[in-house]
Structure 1
Amino acid sequence: MKWKIDRTETYWYQSGRDSRTYVKITYWYQTDSCLTKQIKISYTASDEENLPDWTLYAQKRNTSLENH
């Protein structure tokens, strides 16, 4: 039985005075058994740190939501 990715969600929130927490949730499923699971990764960083690549999409997404 193979697991397949259903969807991925990324977002961030202000978690401290000078820091943000980035969150990535990946939803998985099995077509044979209809089982599902999710994997959640969070990363907290200050503004000066180099961020992992996956956090860039969360930054762009939140910025576009703030502009509407």
Structure 2
Amino acid sequence: MSVEEKFDSAKDQVVGKAKEVEGKVTGDKAREAEGKAQGVRGKVKDAVADVKDAVKNAVDDFKEDSKKDSNQ
């Protein structure tokens, strides 16, 4: 996961939590829901980045194994 992706997902989680708390304090259910949604979006971005990294690693491993097999 790149630094930009980490920052972006963390920003969404933090800003989402702030909006959620603001909504709870002010009794604004829409703002609270908006905050929860933004927090979830940040978590989803984390998960997607983790999957991208796992796929990239798997592809890289496959390429390495293929090179070793072809050299034998």
Q: Is the TM value for this pair above 0.5?
A: no
The structure carrying a bigger strand percent of its residues is 1
Calculate the TM-score normalised by the size of structure 2.
Answer: 0.29
Calculate the TM-score normalised by the size of structure 1.
Answer: 0.31
Structure with larger Rg: 2
